[in-house]
Structure 1
């Protein structure tokens, strides 16, 4: 059964940063940025435990997770809900993700274990600009790319805006 389609794959690739939500022991939420979220196959996401002691402790106690990936330029993305398991060094999931991590970041990154997420439900994330503003994706993407370029250029010139 295919849960993760090509558009979802593309969003995760473009987002480059996703956010993982877990539940702390006291019931409070824990939201953690993850730069290593990748699509493993049609039903699983994976990310590396690089520096995530709270996330990992929460998942060992309660394997439920939600990962949200949003393409900030197109203002849309997905929420992936599911359950996790761990893949230590030597497993296919670990070797696959660690190879990518080394390729992207070079040696020296702490790669403790892989968190494999069995995706059970996917929900879209869509800016109100689409539903109430009648925006079209290409125009919205161009507009937000320009906003980011302007902000970056202003910061380079010393303007804190």
Structure 2
């Protein structure tokens, strides 16, 4: 499912956008900044301030996640089914060990979302269709963002 390139993209760009469906059938997208890859077919993220994401997943567990590398102009789109583990569950205790990089946030964690991936797609900018090289795109976009925040 997840290739090594996708895994690297997710690990280097842990902020992902999670798309869910509200109980009323409306689309909802929420940023999540605590994603970890568990296996080629599993990803998880923490529930810190996610009451609506939790509600939506309990009503409809189908999700999409998108991780974007703005510098290399690549993205990874994942489709899957999410489950929710509350802090009192055995699964939460087991999965919690995967979030060591986020230890400083654990006091505010309400649970863990676990996603079983059914489809994974690497998405490239159209710039690659015209012969762009990753290293050059990365340098150019880094320069653009550096200028923006300077």
TM-score when scaled to structure 1?
A: 0.85
User: Within 2, Cα distance between the matches of 1:31 and 1:107?
Assistant: 22
120, 127, 134: which one aligns with 2:125: 127
- Structure 1: stretches of 5+ with no match in the other structure: 154-161
**Aligned equivalent of 2:100:** 99
User: Within 2, Cα distance between the matches of 1:82 and 1:108?
Assistant: 25
**Aligned equivalent of 1:143:** 140
Q: CA RMSD in A?
A: 1.5
1:118-138, Cα deviation, whole Å (9 max, x unpaired): 00001222111112x321111
1:32-83, Cα deviation, whole Å (9 max, x unpaired): 0000111011210000010011111000010000000011100101100000
1:59-118, Cα deviation, whole Å (9 max, x unpaired): 00100000000111001011000001122334311x22443311xxx2564111111000
**Aligned equivalent of 2:85:** 87
CA separation of 1:72 and 1:119: change in aligned 2, threshold 3 A: same
**Aligned equivalent of 2:51:** 53
- Structure 2: stretches of 5+ with no match in the other structure: none
CA separation of 1:98 and 1:116: change in aligned 2, threshold 3 A: same
SS at structure 1 position matched to 2:108: coil
Which structure is larger by alpha-carbon Rg, 1 or 2? 1
SS at structure 2 position matched to 1:81: strand
TM-score when scaled to structure 2?
A: 0.90
Matches within 5 A, 1:1-161: 3-89=1-87, 90-91=90-91, 92-93=94-95, 95-102=96-103, 106=104, 109-131=107-129, 133-153=130-150
